[in-house]
Structure 1
Amino acid sequence: MVKKFYNIEGIIRNGFKLSRDYETLDFSFGKLRDDAICSLAKSRSVKQLKRLIISGQKLTAVSAQALAESDYLPNLESLKLYKNKIGDEGAKYLAESKKLPNLKTIRLAWNEIGPEGARSIAESQNLENLTALVLSENSIGDDGLKYLAESENLGNLELMDLRKNQITDLGAEALSKSKCLPKLQTIDLSDNSLTAKGFNALAEFKIFNLIRARLSEDGTKLDLSNLGIGDVECRCIAECEELKDLTHLYLELNKITDKGIELLAKGSFLSHLTLLSLDRNFIGDAGFIHIIKSETFQNIQVLMVENNAISDEGVKVLSEEECMKNLLRLYIEENNTTEEGVELLADSEHLQQLEYPEFEREEEIDEEEEDEEEFDDVEDIDDIDEEEELDDKEYEDE
């Protein structure tokens, strides 16, 4: 086969002009083959390169080998080879390279990579700085995912895209048991053969990693707000022993229903909670009642349940049940409560300690009336004194 001649230096210069810097080259617009990539890998002009994009060029393992063995790509941080044909062999070349020490992102979607390619990446000791791995539209399967899940070399990985990879519930369950990917927070397994069982396993994996990433150093505060958390994740939170010292839990702006609250309420590791924020979820009266009656939540001092479809029915239970005696502040605005519900809270004997909402209770009204009566008495005394002074003056005039 006759090799095609490429003016690689001219191609590189044009690429830098298009990217407007000397750190990025995007060759997705032209037609390059393995010969061109081999020439590029030998060029001194790419020594400052940090981002290299070569998509849709039908490149084979030959190109991957050339890049992996290049002496001029020590600064490369991101490599994107979408829609090529490097296969397992090409993935292995990249994984075993010691000449790409700063590589943080590898995007190898649509590259005919199977389980062995995933295995090469998982076993590589040269990819410890990797934070993002994209292998979508390949065929790594359950075995490939297991290799990645059990890897002791990908501890810094934060994102993993494995869409359309013939993965089933078995792979998702293997991932859910992994403790080797502590920083992984974004994982895409869409367009695989997962059932509810597999998606639940994936949710469990995500929430445990989020807990480890977001729990305060002293273990007392955890913010999981606005993360799309649902009832499955609530079960994981309730069963997480790492939260045994937790005092502040923020779960607002999620998708939690009364079922999730029931799971949290039965958790044995959340008994030290003093603040629970659940604003803008879907807990309803049933979820609110689970909180009220939960032995786990009896130390709560601040409860935030705004915009949760709570009605007077839930408020009535709080006002009648002799629970939550430590509650000091209740944020319950933007629900379906009425003035009658507010009065129930105000009149409840075991909620007299509430600082918020502020109520005008009967005792306070009685005190105001007593103050007014005392004021009237003072006025009467003043009138008497004035009359006596007038009488004395008249007597002196006589």
Structure 2
Amino acid sequence: MIDYEAEIERLLSGPPSKLAFRALCAAVGRSGSPHDLVPRCAERLASWPDAVREAPWSWLAALDAGHSKPTWPLVRSLALRSTHNGTLDPALPDPRSQPEVRGVTHLDLGWFASDHLAALVETMGHWDDLRAIETGGLTDMDDELLAKLAGNPAITRIESLNLVTARENMWHFEKPPFRPPAGQPWRLRHAGLRAPDLVHLIRSGLVPHLRSADVLVCGVDEAQELADCPELARLDRLAIGFRCGRNGRQPLWKPYFGNVIDEDDDAGEAFFARADLAGLRDLTVRGTTMGLGREGLGARGVDAVVASGVLRQLTELTLELLPVGDPTIARVLEAVDHDHIEELTLADLVATDVTAAAFVATEAFPRLRRLDLSRNRLGANGARQLATDVRLPALEHLDLKGRKGGSPYYGCPSVQPVGDTGAEAWASSDNAAKLTYLNMAATGLGQDGLIALMRSERLLGLGFLDVSHNPVGSWPAALRKASVWRTLRTLDVTECGLGDDDVESLASTPSAPPLHGISLAYNSVGSRGARALASWAVLPQLWELNLHDNVIGDDGLADLATSRAAQRLLELDLEQDCWNAHARKYGAPLPVEVLDQASFPSLDAVFLGIVDEYHGARYSSGFPTRIREDIASASATRPELVAFLTHLDMEELEDIDTDEGDGDGADRDFRGNAARHYEFVDEAADFARRMIEGDIGWPPPTS
């Protein structure tokens, strides 16, 4: 029996997170929500960031289906984006008729969300507490809508407005202008806009409080106009993407250096040579993905950043998705203030072990808390050098992952070949003492590296470990009482070649006190593994269990459900991919035990059925059409399941009686195929060798 008063106090006293907020709301709901409990929680939650007090897609879908909950007054943020294939975005709630959302301060409308934005424009005067709006994927077809938003009097109350971010590529759509009329100054402190729109806001005197900006620059003239705004000197944060030209050439699913866009370099030189960025402390410069490469600003543009002198004053720097390579990165590392920098992201820049040697040359970064070198080509030697030859005494967050590459059935990962040797170096490194986050996904990690990390006595506070998309192959019994279990909150072993024996070994772990989430997606967990999870001593404390695309039969699902052990579980993913050779029949209904609210009493999100991740489609909800409709309309059905079943966009294949999910999957099960992983590791190592030798081999010669 859970002591809900103690549970609520523990959550309120613990670290804020979106998942912790959902767990708190579940505990309040299961306590019976005594009259004074929600106000008491609201008072304590005032110290939490509004952004983590988020009602996710599943809550909104349930509200859309007519199901409320007593903890809605605690919500401050809404996310209308669905991240699962074949699920529909719920409508934006109307605060006039749905009082649940009247306390919301942050709205994330999602991408290509014209309907949501139109609804917001219509009701904006009734969102009294709204302070932040975010959306993406706006196109020239949204021109009239943006004009209405710009002229809405309530816009002056907004403190953060993201209509564009530096992550967008502008390949397929032009962006509509956002030109509010001059008038009463706004409260805006952050804006995400095209450069001409940002210049308009600044020059019209509407944003005297602006301190942060995301901006896309599409030409030298735009770069110069923006740079000539003296108000830029008041910014403490700037994220900028140059989108002045396009190339688009790529070898088909092969790693390559990338495409340097000369027009982007021209604009970068023009901007950084002229802009007054005297107050800047946080700078991001971001290009775009292009196949297994990157496209955008090159060495000349980044050298302009260095020449501007701005790097010496930064505490945070992000360079991402730029075709620059080791020599340029070395110049960046030389230019930053090693004693001052606190967060450094050099991701997807074609870095190799030469970049690690450039870190060694600096000797120490005494205040660096966050280091992200993901999606590069560091090898084992580079990882070892960082672990042993650079002093990083404050490091808390380390990201060395490769590019995961999506579904293992057809995905093409781009590995960062750190491997077991690199992992072992970090497991024994003095620099690991304060790490709370370690991401080693898609690094060629095997069993030896996993054992070294899990049994490390240097990782004294590790809370997050991602070793997904690696040829681990098994879960060793030696990890039963591994030291990292003492602190680990989240473990991701997605697509690690694990089966029932391994889950039984994992479930023999007697204690992992802080563990709240585990992902076993894309493995080969069957009914025996599900039964092992059902009896795992740790299951009653989990908030998240991701079993996406495994092979659990009805008996295993029923045993997992009827164990009644998953008392705190908030989110459960039992979807399968149609490419799975052992997926259930489209028309086969899931066992009724999965539906019983007593099985998972805290659940607020569930994902079932058959999806096609290659085409982004859904073929089954987990139930034949008639049964699905009956379940969704029954008054006794739990709201979370109603939310899922009533917000699906399906191709009606669920009634087809096939032997396998797609009828042709016998040779499409790549899980556990370590040889394939090692091919990617060898490819990455060879690519790194060529980059070090200067054999970029790109662009190809023209005939």
Map of 1:92-111 to 2, 5 A cutoff?
A: 92-110=384-402, 111=416
1:236 partner letter: W
The answer to whether the aligner puts 1:119 opposite 2:424 as a matched pair is yes
Of the structure 1 ranges 62-71 and 250-259, higher mean CA displacement relative to structure 2 is found in 250-259
> Superposition pairs for residues 210-289 of structure 1, below 5 Å?
212-213=513-514, 232-237=532-537, 259=559
Distance 1:114 1:38 in 2: 24
CA distance in 2, matches of 1:52, 1:69: 16
TM-fit CA distance, 1:183? 1.0
SS of match in other structure, 1:133: strand
Distance 1:153 1:225, change over 3 A: closer
Paired amino acid for 1:64: A
- 1:151 is the counterpart of 2:456: yes
> Is the CA contact 1:164–1:189 (under 8 Å) kept in the aligned structure 2?
yes
CA offset at residue 257 of structure 1?
7.7
Distance 1:136 1:252 in 2: 22
Letter in 2 for 1:213: P
* Aligned residue in 1 for 2:334: 42
Q: How many residues align?
A: 259
Contact 1:118 1:144 in 2 (8 A): yes
Residue 383 of structure 2: aligned partner:
91
Instruction: Pick which of 171-180 and 256-265 moved more.
Output: 256-265
Where does residue 10 of structure 1 map in the other structure?
304
Whole-Å separation in 2 of the counterparts to 1:85 and 1:252: 34
Cα deviation, 1:305-344, whole Å, max 9, x if unaligned, reads: 5997xxxxxxxxxxxxxxxxxxxxxxxx9699xxxxxxxx
Contact 2:299 2:323 in 1 (8 A): no
Q: CA–CA distance in 2 between the matches of 1:93 and 1:131?
A: 20
Aligned-partner SS, 2:511: helix
Q: Give the match for residue 479 of structure 2.
A: 175
Task: Name 1:291's counterpart in structure 2.
Answer: none
**Partner residue of 1:133?**
438
CA contact under 8 A between 1:103 and 1:129: conserved in structure 2? yes
The Cα shift of 1:8 comes to 6.5
Computed over aligned residues only, the root mean square deviation of the Cα atoms, in angstroms, reads 4.7
Displacement of 1:112: 0.9
CA 1:183–1:9: 2 relative to 1, 3 Å: same
Structure 2 SS opposite 1:75: coil
Q: Which residue of 2 aligns with 1:74?
A: 366
Q: Match of 2:426, as an amino acid? A: I
Residue 53 of structure 1 corresponds to 345
The whole-number CA distance in structure 2 between the counterparts of 1:167 and 1:192 is 5
1:105-150 deviation digits (Å, cap 9, x = unpaired): 1111222112111111111122110111111112121111111122
State the match for 1:188 in structure 2.
492
Aligned amino acid, residue 94 of structure 1: L
CA separation in 2, counterparts of 1:80 and 1:225?
23
Letter in 1 for 2:469: K
Q: Structure with the greater relative contact order (CA < 8 A, sep ≥ 6): 1 or 2?
A: 2
d(CA) in 1 for partners of 2:458, 2:378: 22
Report the CA distance between 1:103 and its aligned residue: 1.1
- Give the TM-score of the pair, scaled to structure 2: 0.31
- State the Cα distance separating 1:202 from its structure 2 match: 3.6
Q: CA deviation at 1:15?
A: 10
Q: Which amino acid aligns with 1:153?
A: R
* 8 Å CA contact 1:116, 1:144 repeated in 2: yes
Question: Matched residues in 1 for 2:309 and 2:531: separation?
Answer: 49
Aligned position for 2:12? none
How far apart, CA to CA, are the structure 2 residues paired with 1:237 and 1:36? 51
CA apart distance, 1:86: 1.6
- Indicate how the Cα distance of structure 1 residues 92 and 53 shifts in structure 2: closer, same or farther if over 3 A, else same: same
Paired letter, 2:356: A
Residue 166 of structure 1 and its aligned partner are, at CA, apart by 0.6
1:340-380 superposed Cα distances (whole Å, 9 cap, x missing partner): xxxxxxxxxxxxxxxxxxxxxxxxxxxxxxxxxxxxxxxxx
- Gaps in structure 2 of 5+ consecutive residues: 1-297, 403-415, 521-529, 547-555, 573-589, 602-634, 639-703
Post-superposition shift, 1:160?
A: 1.1
Q: Which residue number corresponds to residue 357 of structure 1? A: none
Residue 278 of structure 1 deviates from its aligned partner by 8.0
User: Is the Cα–Cα contact under 8 Å of residues 231 and 259 in structure 1 kept in the other structure?
Assistant: yes
Q: Per-residue deviation at 1:234?
A: 4.7
Q: Secondary structure at the match of 1:35?
A: helix
SS at match of 2:536: helix
SS, match of residue 25 in structure 1: strand
For structure 1, which runs of at least 5 residues remain unmatched after alignment?
Answer: 215-223, 241-248, 266-275, 289-303, 309-332, 337-398
1:234 and 1:263 in contact (8 A); partners too: yes
**What is the CA distance between 1:16 and its match in structure 2?**
6.4
Q: TM-score, normalised by structure 1?
A: 0.52
Distance change in 2, residues 1:16/1:172 (3 Å): farther
SS in 2 for 1:106: strand
**DSSP 3-state at the match of 1:126:** helix
Would the aligned equivalents of 2:462 and 2:484 in 1 still touch at CA under 8 Å? no
State the alpha-carbon separation in 1 of the partners of residues 355 and 346 from structure 2.
10
* Identity, % of aligned positions: 21
Report the CA distance shift for 1:179/1:12 in structure 2 as closer, same or farther (over 3 A): same
**Pairwise CA distance, 1:32:** 2.3
Given that 1:97 and 1:126 are in contact with CA atoms closer than 8 Å, whether structure 2 keeps it comes out as no
Alpha-carbon separation, structure 1, partners of 2:445 and 2:519: 28
Q: Which amino acid aligns with 1:34?
A: D
2:537 partner SS: helix
Structure 1 runs, 4 residues or longer, greater than 3 Å off: 4-10, 12-17, 44-47, 171-177, 199-205, 224-228, 230-234, 249-265, 276-285, 304-308, 333-336
Q: Is the 8 A contact 1:92 1:120 kept in 2?
A: yes
**Residues 250 and 88 (structure 1), Cα distance of their counterparts in 2 relative to 1, 3 Å cut:** closer
Between the aligned partners of 2:310 and 2:506, the Cα distance in structure 1 is 41
Q: In the aligned structure 2, how far is the partner of 1:250 from the partner of 1:59? A: 40
Q: Aligned letter for 1:123?
A: S
User: Which of the two has higher C-alpha Rg?
Assistant: 1
* Residue 26 (1) aligns with residue 318 (2): yes
Write the distance in 2 (CA, Å) between the matches of 1:131 and 1:279: 23
Distance 1:108 1:226 in 2: 20
